[in-house]
Amino acid sequence: MKKKVIILIFLIIVAIIVSSVLFMFYYKPIKKIEEGINLSGLKVVMIIAEKDFRDEELQKPKEILEKYGAKVIIASSTTNIATGMLGMKIKPDILINEIKVEEYDAIIFVGGSGASQYWNDPIAHSIAKEAIKKDKILCAICIAPVTLANAGVLQGKKATVWPSEAERIKNMGAIYTGANVEIDGKIITANGPAAAEEFGEAIAKALAYKK
């Protein structure tokens, strides 16, 4: 009996040591990378619909990017108060046609049902194309990846979108993955509000590595 107790204690000690080693090698480096993100001096523009943008898809990435030090500008088709699907109110800083892509490190199209206003918008398409041309980080969430697809920048690229719009982006040449967040080079897409936080973190890390 005494021998069994000793063996059990020995096994517990070994398990604790192994767990500690795993924590040291696998978890600490991840934490260090995230704590080391510094986006000060970087500038991001988030494009929202004037009505029915998705609140979390604006709010969560914005909070994450600002936490790491990035400056976030809000653009829309109006500078009047824009209203989210869940009631969020925000006054855009600039009009979408005032966006100068060269001034930003990342361009983000926010989703929500109202985001369909940019699906076939020539200004939105021009911004997406120029972002690719100028090697910027280009992002879209929820139904907003349809705008990128219609602009022709998702052809041959892995991407995700709100499931109801999967066929739309596939028809424009995108490789639909259905992932919560998909990264293909400097294009980052996400499939909806539940992925908003992960989307924001992915953009922050992409900006950090670019910096």
Residue of 20 and 92 predicted with greater confidence: 92
Residue 105 DSSP one-character state: S
What pLDDT does 16 receive? 52
- In the structure encoding, which two tokens stand for residue 153, read together? 């920048």
The model's pLDDT over 14-46, given as tens digits with 9 standing for 90+, comes to: 455 544 433 343 333 333 334 578 999 999 999
- In the structure encoding, which two tokens stand for residue 6, read together? 């000793």
Give the H/E segment covering residue 127: helix 122-133
Helices then strands, each counted (H, E), the chain = 7, 12
- What is the rounded CA–CA span in Å between residue 18 and residue 26? 12
